[in-house]
Amino acid sequence: MARFDMAGTHYAEMAAADSAEALFELGLIYATGRNCDPDVVSAHKWFNIAAFRGYEAAKMQREELAAEMSREEIAAAQRAAREWLTTH
């Protein structure tokens, strides 16, 4: 979560908006390393949350990304998504 906080208020505002599209965009930002270091765990987390909110494209991106991740990375991303969902 530290990287999310360090990314600036723009990203924080995107997540706070609770828009599935904005959450998907956060996944793309972390997956591609746009304005931050690439972070597959964070990307998977945001794709997972966006998918949970009903954004279909997030499901495909999450699965594509998961194919390149270790089981440990996927588990960490899923834990992070659950934690975020329980607090927001």
Mean pLDDT of 19-46: 94
Average pLDDT, the chain: 87
Mean pLDDT of 56-83: 97
Mean pLDDT of 25-43: 94
The confidence band for 35, taking pLDDT boundaries of 50, 70 and 90, is confident
How far apart CA 49 and CA 64 sit, in angstroms, is: 15
Q: Are 47 and 65 in contact (CB under 8 A)?
A: yes
Q: What is the pLDDT of residue 5?
A: 44
pLDDT at 58 over 80: yes
| Residue of 38, 52, 40 lying closest to 82 (CA atoms) | 52
Name the residue ranges covered by the structural domains of the chain.
2-87
> In the chain, what percentage of residues exceed pLDDT 90?
72
